[in-house]
A = this chain, B = another copy of it.
């Protein structure tokens, strides 16, 4: 349960209305700009997040991927099938669990991930243009806090 925050009721009411909208507006601005930018490469912003999750080189299962990109297994499968058709991803059998699939980037997938990372640089430039390094760190911290409490990764009493 949140604190009562007595004495700032009006401010709270405003923030209570505005935080969800501000979060949405900021995310959508980033998402659409990224989608538009990556369109010429035939990759969506969401697909890029998947590629980025695999870019460290370790193979992951579809379930692990679903968790990392905040999605669910059937959505991830649909996305992976598209990426596989485009030759960016490979789904092999898992070494120790015959139920699972082991997903990894192909050589083409690695190449395009690097290309997309570079292609997205101007967008990240804009993203960070109006805030300081300290503010950026603060922002990441606060975003993680609200994500955790929304996902009931409860830390509090």
Q: Is the interface of A mostly helix, strand, loop or mixed?
A: helix
A152 to B49 alpha-carbon distance, docked (Å): 24
Q: Is the CB of A135 within 8 A of B140?
A: no
Q: Is the CB of A145 within 8 A of B124?
A: no
Residue A23 is within 8 A (CB to CB) of chain B in the complex: yes
The interface residues of chain B lying within 8 Å CB-to-CB of A79 are: none
Q: Is the CB of A23 within 8 A of B18?
A: no
The interface residues of chain B lying within 8 Å CB-to-CB of A148 are: 130
Question: Given A23-B27, A25-B147, A70-B25, is A131 in contact with B127 using a C-beta cutoff of 8 Å?
Answer: no
Interface string of A7-25 (1 = CB under 8 A from B): 0100110011011111111
Q: Is the CB of A23 within 8 A of B149?
A: no
Q: Is the CB of B49 within 8 A of A2?
A: no
8 CB-based A-B contacts, threshold 8 Å: A18-B140, A23-B30, A26-B143, A30-B146, A130-B148, A131-B142, A135-B142, A138-B138
